[in-house]
Amino acid sequence: MHQAATFREAGAEPRSASLPLSHLSIEAGHLYFEDFRDGPERLKAHFAQLAPWIAAATDIHRRSVTGRSVRISTCFLIDDYFGPKQPPSEILPMLLAAADANGVRIDYIARESACAEADGVELARLVEERIVADPPPGTNGSRPPVGESGWLSNGERSPSVTGGEAMGGLQPWRPPVQNAANRHSVFVDVQLWDEPDRHRRWSCAYLASVWQLLRLGLVRYEGRAVAVPRAWEGAYPSEWGRLPAVMQVNPDAAPFSAYRSLSVLGSRFFATEQAVRTILSQVAIEAGLNEDVVRRGRDEGIALPLAAVDRLQYVFTG
């Protein structure tokens, strides 16, 4: 059953806890679980392709921040939400060894399933409550709201030609229209979830949106931080759910969340990230939280855009 969105006066929201922030969070690529089945050589090839881009981005950012110590952290998201899984005890040593062999430092490893729920908090539902859909001009209510349909767009779909009046003339086709288009439309319609067997299953694009908000330090539950990184001691377990939502693997790492994020990804993830940007352009960040991050950046001489989506940066390889 869908959880209804809740709206509260800004003054009624609890004060949000502050998080330590790096200047930049770099995501060291993304892999599907079938990629791990190909073994160490596949992982080494992955990091060999990304390593020069990560090094270049790190150098560029270090030179852009002057007069202070630059804080850059790296992260990797494990897809443990969809499909069959190999255990952490098998995946993580292989992953970290392949990254290290190519000079790629990984500071944090996160679980994609934790973008749905972490530490008893339904993060996906939490962000869903913050979606403020952007209806196109002249909306007549014929399209179900996002909370009922599971679909979110950046404009107006082509109207359906079915269901017209009996004997009525065939309705002419009309193209979809992007809201606030720049001369020509780029229309995007994103599926956030489906419900096979009446069980909510979040889409990759939606979970990636929650992931980006976590990296920007913009998710709170009743004012407190969620999915806070934790270290893991000892051998890795056989079940992913036993690991922290975000695991700190480098004890000397800069903070996980950052003013800006950079994702270095294969080109197959381009469509997913376009969907992420469409979603995040319609998420209202908790009152006061976004302003606090912008103010903290300004105090460090960093001019951040007000829109969180504009703090996302990408390198697509291949």
Domain ranges of the chain: 18-113+211-266+287-317
With a cut of 60, say whether residue 241 has pLDDT above it. Answer: yes
Quickly state the pLDDT bin for 67 (edges 50, 70, 90). Answer: low
C-alpha neighbours within 13 Å on the C-beta side of residue 243:
28
Convert the pLDDT of each residue in 180-201 to its tens digit. Answer: 778 888 889 999 999 988 899 9
Quickly state the pLDDT bin for 151 (edges 50, 70, 90). Answer: very high
pLDDT at 162: 54
Per DSSP bridges, beta strands 108-111 and 246-248 are: antiparallel
Convert the pLDDT of each residue in 188-234 to its tens digit. Answer: 999 999 998 889 999 999 999 999 999 999 999 999 999 999 999 99
Residue 181's identity, in one-letter code, is A
With a cut of 70, say whether residue 137 has pLDDT above it. Answer: no
pLDDT at 10: 45
pLDDT at 294: 96
pLDDT at 197: 86
Convert the pLDDT of each residue in 266-298 to its tens digit. Answer: 999 999 999 999 999 999 998 799 999 999 999
Helices 88-101 and 40-64 pack at an angle, to 10 degrees, of 60
The average confidence (pLDDT) of the chain is 89
* CA 239 – CA 230 distance, rounded (Å): 17
- Collect all residues with Cβ–Cβ distance below 8 Å to 185 and sequence separation of at least 6: 155, 175, 176, 177, 178
pLDDT at 6: 43
DSSP the chain: -PPPP----GGGSPPPPP---EEEEEEEEEE-HHHHTT-HHHHHHHHHHHHHHHHHHHHHHHHHS-SS---EEEEEEE--SSS----HHHHHHHHHHHHHHTT----EEEEGGGGT-BTTB-HHHHHHTTB---PPTT--S-SPPHHHH-EEESEEPPPP-SS--TTPPPPPP---EETT-BSB----EEE-EE-GGG--EE-HHHHHHHHHHHHTT--EETTEE-S--EE--SS--S-GGGS-SEEE--TTPPPSSEEEEEEEEEGGGHHHHHHHHHHHTTB-PPTTHHHHHHHHHHHTT----SSGGGGEEEEEE-
Quickly state the pLDDT bin for 85 (edges 50, 70, 90). Answer: confident
With a cut of 90, say whether residue 263 has pLDDT above it. Answer: yes
* CA 63 – CA 79 distance, rounded (Å): 33
pLDDT at 146: 86
Rg of the chain on CA atoms, in Å: 21
With a cut of 90, say whether residue 235 has pLDDT above it. Answer: yes
List residues bridging with 27 in a β-sheet: 75, 263
Q: What percent of the chain has pLDDT over 70?
A: 89
* CA 14 – CA 73 distance, rounded (Å): 29
